[in-house]
Amino acid sequence: MALILFKWLFIFFAASPAAVHPVYMSVTEIEHNAKERSLEISCKIFTDDFEQTLRKSYKKKVDLLSPKYKKEMEVLVNDYVQKHLKIIADGRPVSFKFLGYEQHEEGIASYYEIDNISQIKELVITDNILYEYKQEQISLIHVTVNGNRKSTKLNNPDDKAIFSF
């Protein structure tokens, strides 16, 4: 669903002659997998915005689409997202492991997992992905626990959301 919204917003703003400013957005999806006792996370970011932010942040050549640089780019993508996405599950900060990234149309989707989460009552999420890139940046966050999906939108500089289940 978020990928459809991501694509629709991109097409709408790119194709609209009345649009003065394009949309600057990231989409973070978090799903609790009760069977695996884990949180599965994906972050979707427009490729060009993400590359420009990584260049500025790391002062390196950045090419997220070239297979030649994939290993080096995985390090940058993981480091950047880990610095800009923080999760507190039921009162305790959790760390997540990087699974990889791939291109999805005009965006990059990166994937993470948090193990040993048997149930969730509350998630506190700090998400300021690409906030340093554009003042107009927004973050859409979708969380699904036990089939119950909740969503919110954060407008830069607001970067904290609390989900209770």
- Cα dihedral sign, 132-51-143-84: negative
Nearest to 120 by CA among 29, 39, 43: 39
The per-residue pLDDT for range 95-130, each reduced to its tens digit, is: 999 999 999 888 999 999 999 999 999 999 999 999
16 pLDDT band (50/70/90 cuts)? very low
Q: Quick one: tokens of 68?
A: 């030649």
DSSP run (H or E) holding 139: strand 138-145
Query: Greater confidence, 148 or 7?
Result: 148
Note the pLDDT of residue 70: 97
Cβ count near 75 (within 10 Å): 11
The per-residue pLDDT for range 29-44, each reduced to its tens digit, is: 999 999 999 999 999 9
Does residue 20 register a pLDDT over 90? no
